[in-house]
Amino acid sequence: MSSPLRNGDTPSPAVGRRHFHSTVSEKKIRRLNNLILLLRFAAFCFSLAAAIFMATNSSRSPGSPSWLRLHPFRLVFAANAIVAVYSFFAMGFSIWEILKGATLFPEHLQLWFDFAHDQVFAYLLLAAEAAGTVEARGLKGAHTCSSESAFCVQAYISVSLGLAGFAFLALTALVSGFRVACYVITGSRFHL
Amino acid sequence: MSSPLRNGDTPSPAVGRRHFHSTVSEKKIRRLNNLILLLRFAAFCFSLAAAIFMATNSSRSPGSPSWLRLHPFRLVFAANAIVAVYSFFAMGFSIWEILKGATLFPEHLQLWFDFAHDQVFAYLLLAAEAAGTVEARGLKGAHTCSSESAFCVQAYISVSLGLAGFAFLALTALVSGFRVACYVITGSRFHL
């Protein structure tokens, strides 16, 4: 079988690129997909844990504080729950992509969907955690924590877990933002 | 003068790109640079105004609240002041780039510097404004605002201005992030 290229001819960039893509870089694509899945899994775990810690944070004695009566703690719960649900579905999309080699929705839609949600939910989660931190500090200043120390400790833990979730979501937003830029510039979601 | 390309030949992508770049797209580059400068200017104005509004927010009567004694308001002031100073210098870099056609520092350093600072300062500003919002709500809940309404109104205005500054900084981070991705993928900070 003779090559379609004669001696001295240079292959067109598109052909060279596809060849390169199919042989050398299969491993790199898989590695990037696995990285995204790992980051989403970490964000899911931390935000789910933060939501659970906040939701179960009310002391049994009557007249004591409950997270339901404090607006910033409700925001912390809501933001973490939203991020946990989103991360769960996004993990599903990611696993689909790893198994089938294609995105579940049309490629441009999926890439923009991922990036926009990662970025907006990262901002949402950060704002909620900052609000929760101020509220937790305020409780300490009002000496609520001396009588209800378990309540305060659990609130601190929830906020800290949420901040860890934010860190992983912000990293995911960087990677998915890079994928969108790749798609806009080269027409493919992988730059290799 | 004959063209170096014979009939039927296709120009190589590199030559075509450079030609295209120099003739058609000069205007687009200028427009992108102007957009970045405009966003930075807006972020500078809003964050400077927010910092000034917060810094001058203490009532004259003794025993009344001052922003200096409330930690979240100090954070709002500090974050807005940092963003204002950063935006001022970044505008200088941007104007240099528009006038000279090249970045002040080596290109890759400048692009990464811009993007990293835009992104981190956007997160910082958002966290500060969220903290400030909770504190302002807390003052209202503690009935401080009924006797010191001017103090509260000025705090609200400062936080709102800071949020507008955050919005412009987040948009700047998107554009500078796209420039970094362009540079990583194509070796040039402009994709046209």
Q: pLDDT by residue (tens digit) across A154-189?
A: 999 999 999 999 999 999 999 999 999 989 888 887
DSSP A63: T
Nearest CA in chain A to B135: A134
ipTM field: 0.83
Answer yes or no: are the C-beta atoms of A182 and A190 closer than 8 Å.
yes
Residues on chain B touching A182 (C-beta within 8 angstroms) = 181, 185
Average pLDDT estimate for A26-43: 90
Are B131 and A134 an interchain contact pair (Cβ–Cβ within 8 Å)?
Answer: yes
Residue-level pLDDT at A119: 96
Distance CA A37, CA B41 (A): 38
The pair of three-digit structure tokens given for residue A172, joined into one six-digit string: 């995911």
Task: Supply B110's token pair.
Answer: 């400048």
Is residue A57 within 8 Å of residue A173, measured between CB atoms?
no
pTM exceeding the 0.95 threshold for the entire prediction? no
Model pLDDT, residue A151: 87
| Positive or negative torsion for Cα B6, B9, B12, B13 | positive
Q: Is B28 on the interface with A (CB under 8 A)?
A: no
HSE of B28, CA atoms in CB hemisphere, 13 A: 10
Q: Within an 8 Å CB–CB cutoff, is residue A191 touching chain B?
A: yes
Average pLDDT over chain A, rounded to an integer: 85
Q: Please determine, for residue B36, whether its predicted confidence score (pLDDT) is greater than 60.
A: yes
CB pair distance less than 8 Å for A182 and B185 = yes
A32, A71, A129, A134: best mutation site toward chain B, by most B Cβ within 10 Å?
A: A134
A76 falls in which pLDDT band (50, 70, 90)?
Answer: very high
For the beta carbon of residue A75, count every other beta carbon within 10 angstroms.
21
Residues of B in contact with A128 (CB under 8 A): 130
Length of chain B: 192
Helix (H, G, I), strand (E, B) or coil at A64: coil
The pLDDT, as a whole number, for residue B61 is 62
Contacts of B163 by beta carbon, 8 Å cutoff, 6+ apart: B129
pLDDT of B11 over the 70 cut: no
Helix (H, G, I), strand (E, B) or coil at B66: strand
The average confidence (pLDDT) of chain B is 85
Nearest CB among B13, B135, B181 relative to A178 is that of B181
Q: Closest partner residue to A13 among B13, B182, B184, by Cβ? A: B13
C-alpha pair distances (Å), A170 with each of A37, A90, B131? 14, 14, 19
Q: How would residue A38 be classed by pLDDT, with cut points 50, 70 and 90?
A: very high
Give the residue carrying structure tokens 């050398």: A24
Query: Quick one: pLDDT at residue B102?
Result: 85
For residue A23, what pLDDT is reported? 53
Per-residue pLDDT reduced to its tens digit, B152-167: 899 999 999 999 999 9
Summarize pLDDT for A7-28 with one digit per residue, the tens: 444 444 444 444 555 555 778 7
Between B32 and B19, whose confidence is greater?
Answer: B32
Q: Give the confidence band of A6 by pLDDT, cuts at 50, 70, 90.
A: very low
The whole-number pLDDT of residue A59 equals 63
A138 inside 8 A of chain B by CB: yes
Q: What is the 3-state secondary structure (H, E, C) of A9-46?
A: CCCCHHHHHHHHHHHCCHHHHHHHHHHHHHHHHHHHHH
For B52-103, the pLDDT digits (tens) are 999 998 765 666 678 888 899 999 999 999 999 999 999 999 999 999 888 8
CA atoms of A173 and B43, how far apart (whole Å)? 22
- Write the pLDDT tens digit of every residue in A101-160: 888 889 889 999 999 999 999 999 999 999 999 999 988 887 778 777 888 899 999 999
Q: Closest Cα partner for A84 from A50, A48, A60, A127?
A: A48
Written as one string, the DSSP assignment of B116-171 is HHHHHHHHHHHHHHHHHHHHHHHHHHTTHHHH-HHHHHHHHHHHHHHHHHHHHHHH
